[in-house]
Amino acid sequence: MGVKRHPMGELIREDRMPHIFCPGCGIGATISNIAEALTEVKDEIDLNKVAVVSGIGCSGRAAGYFWLDGFHTTHGRPIAFATGLKLSNPDLNVIVFSGDGDLTTIGGNHLIHGARRNMDLIVICINNFNYGMTGGQMGATTPSHTKTTTSIYGNYETPFNLPALLTACGANYVARWTSAHSHYIKRSFLDALKKEGFRFIEVISACPVNWGRRNKLRTGKDMVKFFLEHTVIKENPDPKDALIQMDTPILCGVFADRNAPGYMRAMRECLSSKVGISEFRGDGKVELPEDKEKEKKTLEIPKPKQIKEVKIKLAGLGGQGIALLGLIIGRAACVFDGNEAAYTQEYGAEARGGASASCVIISSEKIDFPYVKKPDVMVIMAQGAFRKYRKDIQPNSVVFIDKDLVKPSNLPEGVKAYAVPATRIAEQVGRTVVANIVMLGFISALTDFFSLEAVKAALKMSVPKGTEEFNLKAFAAGYEYGEKVKKGEIV
């Protein structure tokens, strides 16, 4: 007797069987529907370029059941993760497969902004009306008056009307079916595959074990019967009629089918007209737009030098341009020197006037984690910031300070400190507001984290239009001071 294969064995991982879903659950059927649809188009699309992203929850297990690249991400964050995946790999078809609790409740903000941006993703939202995996708690889609473990007298909140929400946010495609409508799910998915932008398919899914059992639908069969008897499929249904109430039929169909430019196209069109770049490929290359006179060609960003990873933390008071300073350094290293850079910011609760910091990591290699815990270099421009961030200064690290504003004390062993009167020099140049740029010039003279051409280009790109020359003057003043320090003319 031969080995019995799963009928969707080409795309469903038999080695993961039996699956974890409860008897009668609608998730497995929906996974099969998507696998079936992909099998139908396997000669038209490259399945090596299809990725499935899930969050947490019963449906969050879906990514692991496909023979496709799969990512099981943190709770509520699959759309954020998928957005990054698509931006850095524009050729991928990115499918988000997750539950209502994950996508609409914990991750609700990501969902609405993904739709608003018309991000090029297909989102399959398994709506089982509750948090199934964690024991059946109420969520943002639990229908009014129905019971869950946290609404034992019936839910008295109004749930999201997902078709109305997603349509209002601007998604290109919005459809709703139930897990009993296999054929429609498959067709809908295939239609969505042909489109760009944000494509959202809600699947009202049987969860007899949690939501069903508490609402007199104890088995999968009860739930499927309920779905078939209590749904109405309409052509061009009005999203505002799609609120789920238990005493009226559940409206299904395609609520939105638009052809607005997806995020990638919108970005390309904007950037090709503004800066002459038509494609960001996420691999250190950009493509120039097709031009009737010029041949389309790929431009290699030069990689002038290899740089070992360096972690820089910049600290000052809100309003001193600490964030801008970090941004310029990151851009110099990344956009103009062709290295990798990661940039983060942090503010105190008081924002302006309070201590703030930004962190930049520069490396020739890919950067796995963007947060800086132990900086190699610290730049400190105010005493308040020194007090707050002194604990971050590492032994044998390098510190740059504004010598008029920071009086360092108790520095760890082996710290090499470089001091520049950045604010005083900025005043002499014309405005104290460019003290951060003076500091940038000073750092440039004393380190080789980025090339001089790159930092000047990044500076021009980052400061307000019309102030470029003034900022370059401040930069030159800081650079000159740094050169003197380097030669030992100033100590």
How many Å apart are CA 161 and CA 429, to the nearest integer? 58
How many Å apart are CA 357 and CA 385, to the nearest integer? 8
Verify binding: residue 132, ligand SF4, rule CB under 6 A. yes
Between 132 and 384, name the residue whose CB sits nearer to ligand SF4: 132
Verify binding: residue 223, ligand SF4, rule CB under 6 A. no
Between 215 and 436, name the residue whose CB sits nearer to ligand SF4: 215
- Nearest distance, CB of residue 99 and ligand SF4, angstroms: 7
Q: Which residues contact 292 (CB under 8 A, 6 or more apart)?
A: none
The secondary structure of 35-47 as a DSSP string is: HHHHHHTTTTS-G
What does the angle CA 362 – CA 365 – CA 367 come to, to the nearest 5 degrees?
Answer: 65
How many Å apart are CA 451 and CA 213, to the nearest integer? 66
Per CB under 6 A, the list member of 6, 13, 22, 473 interacting with ligand SF4 is 22
Verify binding: residue 217, ligand SF4, rule CB under 6 A. no
> Contact at 8 Å (CB) between 279 and 205?
no
Verify binding: residue 103, ligand SF4, rule CB under 6 A. no
Per CB under 6 A, the list member of 21, 66, 184, 481 interacting with ligand SF4 is 21
How many Å apart are CA 348 and CA 389, to the nearest integer? 12
> Contact region for ligand SF4 (CB under 6 A) — 19-27, 78-86, 187-195, 241-249?
19-27
Give CA 280 to chain center in angstroms. Answer: 16
- Nearest distance, CB of residue 100 and ligand SF4, angstroms: 10
Per CB under 6 A, the list member of 38, 201, 203, 209 interacting with ligand SF4 is 209
Between 167 and 210, name the residue whose CB sits nearer to ligand SF4: 210
- Nearest distance, CB of residue 38 and ligand SF4, angstroms: 22
Per CB under 6 A, the list member of 210, 278, 320, 423 interacting with ligand SF4 is 210
- Nearest distance, CB of residue 5 and ligand SF4, angstroms: 24
Verify binding: residue 25, ligand SF4, rule CB under 6 A. yes
How many Å apart are CA 224 and CA 180, to the nearest integer? 6
Write down the residue that tokens 């008295």 correspond to. Answer: 156
- Nearest distance, CB of residue 66 and ligand SF4, angstroms: 17
How many Å apart are CA 468 and CA 462, to the nearest integer? 9
Verify binding: residue 30, ligand SF4, rule CB under 6 A. no
Pairing outcome for strands 279-280 and 285-287: antiparallel
The β-bridge partners of 151 are 148
Residues near ligand SF4 (CB under 6 A): 21-22, 25, 27, 58, 128, 132-133, 207-210
